[in-house]
Amino acid sequence: MSNEKLAIDGGKAVRSAGWPSRGLIGEEEKAAAMAMFDKAIKTGNAFGYGGEAEQQYEKDFAEFMGGGFADGVNSGTNAVFCALGALHLEPFSEVIIPAITDPGGAMPTVLVGCVPVVADTDEKSYNVGAAQIEAAITERTKAVVVAHIGGEPVDMDAVMALARKHNLYVVEDCAQAHGAKYKGKYVGSFGDIAAYSTMFGKHHCTGGQGGVVYTRNEELFWQAKRFADRGKPFNLDTASNVRAAINCNLNDLSATIGSAQLKKLVSIVARRRKVGETVKAELARKGSVVQVGVQEPETECSYWFLRLALDVAGLKVDKAAFCEALTAEGIPAGLSYRHIPAEAVWFKERVGLGNKGYPWTCSDYKGPREPQYRIDNAIKVTDKHFNIGIHEGCGEQEIADILAAIDKVEKAYRK
């Protein structure tokens, strides 16, 4: 039926039931946590950190990745911090960061004494592109942080080729991309070191907060582990702490939840992917003002959210009105993923440490005094796209409702 009255105008919504919950935590996590409590009560010893449960989670994580080394930490922000800390970069080295990322993926650069330099996105997605990274490289660049935003893999072959050519470390920020694949391999296994957030909103969690540093390089692993725990001399014949660092440790209770969660990760990603891929395939088949956007070839997105592009030229309304109408139909449509660190006060006003513009204004830094940033593409892609909050709790009904709501709103608003 065309031009049905929209819910936003008082019509009947496509979906009256609320959006499903994720159901992320189940009996398995509860049993694992209860077993920790039972043991603590029986033995009289509180659970701690770095014990059996945390070691098991780190082993499980590395196994999930098909090898390598994992260190549990207490947030995704600290996972990025410790991944950078493991690299022992000289202060005032430049670290390229993506134009679109969570603040937690950008701020650690400053806190390890480096200068963040923004590389723009690749024009077609929220992800940074190799050409944009190349444009940001100077003789001071020592590392690049790439983030697989929304679960969509960055073109890692192009990034790694560039990094090898310029002798740069690559940190993969996989906070939003657990279980996403690039050319058949999990993201996180391409760069020198990777960071994961395991807070409760991510594909798998370690409870409320948490994170993991992952690498296939054993030396970088030990360096990350020392940096994550006040410079303790792990794997060294030294009696004292070997570098200044803070305490970013995970803990055994969180880790045991993480191990239970990891067993579900493949299924979680598969269910998200089914929703995302089905909606995209159907929109492409039908032809719509809602376009599926471009996805890197040979990648498997893990859909932290579903990114869609809107062709407003064919509509009587703007993107905000379109998303509002979709939301009124019962579909959680977010206006965009506009997390652009260069637009934030801390970056624009250079508030790192102290009040004098550290690190950009320090005399030891030989780069531009003002933060450098290219975010034209980032603004364009965030303007063009909107997101639907799909997750593993969604199924056939949600797929049908998303498509029906898009169809209804599109028919009402088409020029």
Ligand X SMILES: Cc1ncc(COP(=O)(O)O)c(C=O)c1O
In terms of CB distance, is 81 or 92 closer to ligand X? 81
Burial code (b: 16+ CB inside 10 Å, e: under 16) for 95-118 equals bbbbbbbbebbbbbbbbbbbbbbb
Shortest distance, position 85 Cβ to ligand X, whole Å: 15
- Which among 232, 262, 230, 256 has a CA at the least distance from the CA of 244? 230
Q: Does 105 bind ligand X (CB under 6 A)?
A: yes
DSSP string of 338-403?
A: ---GGGSHHHHTT-SSTTTTTTTT-TT--S-SSPP---HHHHHHHHHEEEE---TT--HHHHHHHH
Q: Does 382 bind ligand X (CB under 6 A)?
A: no
Task: Tell me the two tokens of residue 37.
Answer: 């409590």
Shortest distance, position 150 Cβ to ligand X, whole Å: 9
Give the span between the Cα atoms of 338 and 379, in whole angstroms: 8
Q: Does 147 bind ligand X (CB under 6 A)?
A: yes
Shortest distance, position 380 Cβ to ligand X, whole Å: 20
Give the span between the Cα atoms of 382 and 375, in whole angstroms: 11
CA dihedral 26, 29, 32, 33 (to 10 degrees): -110
Q: Does 175 bind ligand X (CB under 6 A)?
A: yes
Count of residues in contact with ligand X, rule CB under 6 A? 15
Q: Does 104 bind ligand X (CB under 6 A)?
A: yes
In terms of CB distance, is 303 or 322 closer to ligand X? 303
Shortest distance, position 107 Cβ to ligand X, whole Å: 9
Shortest distance, position 149 Cβ to ligand X, whole Å: 6
Tell me which of 53, 75, 85, 245 binds ligand X, using CB under 6 A: 75
Other C-beta atoms lying within 10 Å of the C-beta of residue 208: 12
Options 29-37, 101-109, 275-283, 399-407: segment touching ligand X (CB under 6 A) = 101-109
Q: Which residue intervals of 94-211 are DSSP H helices?
A: 103-106, 108-111, 130-136, 156-166
Shortest distance, position 174 Cβ to ligand X, whole Å: 8
Q: Does 371 bind ligand X (CB under 6 A)?
A: no
Task: Tell me the two tokens of residue 170.
Answer: 């690559």
Location of structure tokens 């995970």: 250
Q: Does 199 bind ligand X (CB under 6 A)?
A: yes
Give the span between the Cα atoms of 284 and 282, in whole angstroms: 5
In terms of CB distance, is 84 or 310 closer to ligand X? 84
DSSP string of 238-253?
A: -SS--S---B-B--HH
Tell me which of 54, 61, 68, 77 binds ligand X, using CB under 6 A: 77
Tell me which of 29, 58, 94, 102 binds ligand X, using CB under 6 A: 102
Shortest distance, position 211 Cβ to ligand X, whole Å: 5
Please provide residue 68's backbone torsions phi and psi, each rounded to the nearest 5 degrees: 95, -165
Q: Does 249 bind ligand X (CB under 6 A)?
A: no
Options 69-77, 154-162, 282-290, 310-318: segment touching ligand X (CB under 6 A) = 69-77
Options 9-17, 154-162, 173-181, 315-323: segment touching ligand X (CB under 6 A) = 173-181
Tell me which of 32, 80, 187, 213 binds ligand X, using CB under 6 A: 80
Give the span between the Cα atoms of 165 and 103, in whole angstroms: 28
In terms of CB distance, is 74 or 256 closer to ligand X? 74
Q: Does 188 bind ligand X (CB under 6 A)?
A: no
**CB neighbours of 46 closer than 8 A, spacing ≥ 6?**
40
Bridge partners of 292, per DSSP, are none
Tell me which of 127, 197, 261, 382 binds ligand X, using CB under 6 A: 197
Q: Does 101 bind ligand X (CB under 6 A)?
A: yes
Q: Does 259 bind ligand X (CB under 6 A)?
A: no
Task: Tell me the two tokens of residue 62.
Answer: 């590395």
For binding to ligand X (CB under 6 A), which residues are involved?
75-77, 80, 101-102, 104-105, 147, 173, 175-176, 197, 199, 211
